[in-house]
Structure 1
């Protein structure tokens, strides 16, 4: 008697659409930035490109965060495709980040450097938690992909600086500080803590160091105690120095960040070996789905208020990629055909309205889904890639495993 093949929860057309998205992310977008996103004379990445002709937009600066996101992107592009040009770009980005953005006088990463005649001098010398979080994230990912212990050392060094210089007595991280760390911003901001959790999860994934996972408990506890609404349905953005929602800005809700927290909390729970996370995250997904999506035109609004009213009806690409990540995780965890069907619909919407031939994309859409931007930021391939990685996992299309880095 022959053994029957297992029934798959997805169809071949769905799997093919997922593969096209992954190819767009790691082959087409990588090629676009390999060919147009590097200043050969200056030896550094370009902050943004004109969408029409892929020429550099001269903004006069380049951010450490943008370099870090590109470092992550090209590390993963090499892992998925094996294209040695992606490896070479990742190594060059690593050299640029560690060789130019570190403040050797006061420690920490400069927010931005100048371009042009005064290239590589600090443009904005502040030290921000958001940028340091992405440095930890990218250095950990690069170190894991290529087996580079020195990159892991940089990530650990960054974490120690954050704990020593940016941790406030109130229990949260300062949003930013002066170059010499004397002037600290005391308010509580959601977004830097979310990305600090992302960075710590990446560092734990690279090292399996239990102490790093314990550090990740800080932003998770802060989320549970302060960053979500009292009813647990939404993530708030801006708080004052006492940790209270900060006036009108304290009523802002970004559905994309709700999806992003859902994904990170799921990964945190899995790293800790805890199966139960849906009880916490399900109300957040339900609220974001119910209020964030535009029922008339489709797509996700950038900003709402706590009552679900639209504040900004522009539709940037990244909230949709975060939604795709959550749907891909749901498909992976449940293996339900309905979850894969919903994931397929999200990918189809992204492909139809945002992605453009040759590895490009539309950064913003208006409410009616017409394009509303003319540039491509170097930071967005990170968003597209993180979604594509979760989609690859859901369909069993992931690339080679990370290299092992000894703790």
Structure 2
């Protein structure tokens, strides 16, 4: 039963979603990805073209090519990489966004976006062997260390630095993801040290041992933010579960697996709706849902967590099949489209297709496909 569901999801991902984004969502002349698409697969101009979106698309097509060797994906890689470098790397650092006409819009360097430079360039390098990506990864790392590092640990949100900004765990989570990818691509121990620092930050500050929840928002010295520090996201709990298992392959430590287990338990107990899907946000203290809507990305992170967490094979297969069936019923639409938001009753909200979401959909499904190849008789 799981294999049948997986085959259907595999077809949706590769033959519909990625095929259509490749055809309609990538500018044929300049090679960049559109920020957003309408449901008829026409461009939805939103007034900005972010570095983040370009990098997520570069990652997705690079990793998809690594899995499938599909020439259509391969053909998108170098033009997209070249566009990113030409348009966003200014004065030895990465800028945040362009206008729709591709003129410069926002010159800040954003830590969250830099994480996806690391992730996408590492997979681009592995997919193509183009070693032009290597110095940009090194420069990105050096910029983070020299210009964005905070004395209290971790990194500031953006450069130029605003020390009054709310500190967040989210950019650090994605930086961990990026550094894991860069280390796996280069085997450079410099990046292993960065992984270690981010894991220490999670254990010391992000994880609240009293509530067993992953805090999101902090003051400058890593205290829970007095106004919004109670708001936590089940999807990020699942995302950290998967990342902790990836990090443990590089830096084995029982503390990481124990943390993953705590985060998993909190999220499955309090973040999953009785009628299916995963809430956007819950209260870290009362565990009550604060935002009962269900974006698509949290359930993709749940898929990834299920593939790694230490539970029985029967439970694992049941959880995967249930989640994939829910996604087919409520999120996936014909012709490679999807519902970005559901309300608490699983009714879809009218919303275009963000260029950042296929990263989540792809990686969630790719991890399940890879797991199934190893643990069942499923073949890609």
TM-score by length of structure 2 reads 0.93
| Secondary structure, counterpart of 2:229 in structure 1 | helix
User: Per-residue displacement from partner, 1:271-295 (whole Å, max 9, x unpaired)?
Assistant: 2245674322212111111111111
Quote the residue 2:328 is aligned against.
Answer: 351
Q: 1:154 to 1:249 in 2, by over 3 A?
A: same
1:80: Cα distance to partner? 2.2
Q: Give the Cα separation in 2 of the matches to 1:272 and 1:177.
A: 30
What is the deviation of 1:199? 0.2
Instruction: Report the Cα distance in structure 1 between the residues aligned to 2:71 and 2:221, rounded to whole angstroms.
Output: 50
Checking the alignment, whether the CA contact within 8 Å between 1:256 and 1:319 is kept in structure 2 is: yes
Give the alignment partner of residue 246 of structure 2, picking from 259, 267, 270: 267
Please state how far the C-alpha of 1:255 moved relative to its aligned partner.
0.3
Distance apart, 1:248 and its partner CA: 2.2
Secondary structure of the residue that 1:194 maps to in structure 2? helix
CA-based RMSD: 1.8
How much does 1:44 deviate? 2.2
1 CA distance for matches of 2:153 and 2:176? 15
Tell me the equivalent position of 1:48. Answer: 36
Q: Aligned pair in 2 of structure 1 residues 42, 101: CA closer, same or farther (>3 Å)? A: same
2:109 alignment partner in structure 1: 127
Greater RCO, 1 or 2 (C-alpha within 8 Å, sep 6+): 1
Q: Deviations over 1:208-242 (max 9, x none)?
A: 22231121111111100001113362111110112
Q: Which residue of 2 aligns with 1:75?
A: 62
Q: Which moved more, 1:224-233 or 1:367-376?
A: 224-233
C-alpha contact (below 8 Å) 1:73/1:381 kept by paired residues:
yes
Q: Map 1:226-305 to 2 at 5 A.
A: 226-231=205-210, 233-274=212-253, 277-295=256-274, 297-305=275-283
Whole-Å separation in 2 of the counterparts to 1:335 and 1:208: 33
Partners of 1:172 and 1:213 lie apart in 2 by: 15
Return closer, same or farther for 1:355/1:159 CA change in 2, 3 Å cut-off: same
TM-score calculated relative to the size of structure 1: 0.87
Please state whether the residue corresponding to 1:248 is helix, strand or coil.
coil
Check whether the contact 1:26–1:80 (CA below 8 A) recurs between aligned residues: no
Q: Deviations over 1:7-27 (max 9, x none)?
A: xxxxxx312322332332233
**CA distance in 2 between partners of 1:19 and 1:213 (Å):** 36
Larger displacement relative to structure 2 (249-258 or 28-37): 28-37
| Residue 97 (structure 2) aligns with | 112
Task: Say which of 321, 345, 362 aligns to 1:385.
Answer: 362
The higher radius of gyration belongs to 1
> Greater shift after overlay, 217-226 or 273-282?
273-282
| Equivalent residue number for residue 170 of structure 1 | 152
Q: For 2:312 and 2:282, locate their aligned partners in 1 and report how far apart those are by CA, in whole Å.
A: 32
Query: Any residues of structure 2 matched to 1:3-402 within 5 Å, and which?
Result: 13-51=1-39, 53-103=40-90, 105=91, 107-116=92-101, 119=102, 121-178=103-160, 183=162, 187-231=166-210, 233-274=212-253, 277-295=256-274, 297-306=275-284, 307-330=286-309, 336-396=313-373
Supply the distance in 2 between the matched residues of 1:283 and 1:130 (Cα, whole angstroms).
25
Paired positions, count: 374
Residues 284 and 273 (structure 1 numbering): CA distance in 2 closer, same or farther, change over 3 Å?
Answer: closer
C-alpha contact (below 8 Å) 2:163/2:220 kept by paired residues: no
User: What whole-Å deviation, never above 9, does each CA across 1:144-179 have from its counterpart, x for those lacking one?
Assistant: 12222221221121111111110011112001123x
